[in-house]
């Protein structure tokens, strides 16, 4: 319990050392990693087989149970084709059915990119505010009486930039990797429509 209290006090001291801007950055970290975790969990393609092979296996009954999003989309498309036959509206109905997958695939993608872009700017704002306070203290000659002097004041001002980059850099890398996976899955959905509709028409 004492260790937990000590850790919380150290965390609070670190956050307070950078000023008010540190708290928005901290909450940005929480939102960012929740969004990344959600996208990582949601972007489950299922089988690694090609879309054409998946369509063949599910249509021939070799596979019946979907393991992920693309597997489920194949099953949905085949059910629609089975119900509508060679109807001209088949592709339209499949597109409507795939809308739920498209929404899940793209969910939180813009939020992630927004936080990644905004975090360094918020950190820079905190640094500017800290530098202004440092020079105000210099004008009053108050900073020289504090431990660390000018270097200590500037060091505290740079905490927000540090945290902003800590938020942005991992978020940018992981966010881009997940976005590439999402783009591939959206292409898979289009390929499913092409294969199923061509096969049936």
The tens digit of pLDDT for each residue in 99-123 reads 999 999 999 999 999 999 999 998 8
Rounded to an integer, the average pLDDT of 80-107 is: 86
| pLDDT band at residue 83 using 50, 70 and 90 as cut-offs | confident
Q: In 10 A of CB 69, how many CB atoms?
A: 20
Structural contact between residues 27 and 50, judged by C-beta atoms closer than 8 angstroms: no
Residue (of 35, 55, 39) closest to 47 by Cα position: 55
pLDDT of residue 155: 67
Residue (of 199, 187, 201, 198) closest to 73 by Cα position: 187
| pLDDT band at residue 150 using 50, 70 and 90 as cut-offs | low
CA–CA separation, 108 and 159 (whole Å): 28
Residue 64 tokens read as 């019946």
What is the sign of the dihedral through the CA atoms of 82, 85, 89 and 91? Answer: positive
Residue (of 106, 161, 170) closest to 131 by Cα position: 161
| pLDDT band at residue 201 using 50, 70 and 90 as cut-offs | very low
Tens of pLDDT, residue by residue over 155-181, are: 667 778 888 888 899 999 999 999 999
Residue 132 tokens read as 């202004």
Give residue limits of the domains in the chain. Answer: 21-42+109-186
């Amino acid at each position: 319990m004492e260790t937990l209290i000590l850790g919380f006090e150290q965390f609070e001291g670190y956050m307070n050392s950078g000023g008010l801007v540190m708290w928005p950055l901290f909450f940005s970290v929480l939102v960012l990693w929740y969004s990344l975790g959600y996208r990582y969990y949601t972007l489950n393609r299922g089988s690694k087989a090609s879309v054409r092979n998946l369509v063949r296996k599910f249509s021939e009954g070799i596979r019946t149970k979907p393991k992920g999003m693309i597997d489920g989309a194949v099953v949905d498309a085949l059910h629609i084709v089975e119900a509508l036959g060679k109807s001209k509206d088949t592709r339209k109905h499949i597109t409507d059915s795939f809308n739920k997958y498209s929404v899940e695939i793209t969910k939180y993608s813009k939020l992630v990119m927004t936080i990644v872009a905004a975090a360094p700017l918020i950190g820079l704002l905190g640094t500017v505010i800290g530098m202004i306070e440092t020079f105000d203290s210099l004008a009053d000659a108050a900073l020289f009486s504090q431990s660390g002097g000018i270097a200590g004041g500037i060091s505290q001002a740079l905490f927000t930039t540090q945290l902003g980059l800590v938020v942005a850099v991992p978020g940018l890398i992981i966010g881009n990797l997940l976005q590439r996976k999402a783009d591939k899955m959206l292409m898979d959905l289009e390929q499913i429509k092409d294969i199923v509709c061509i096969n049936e028409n």
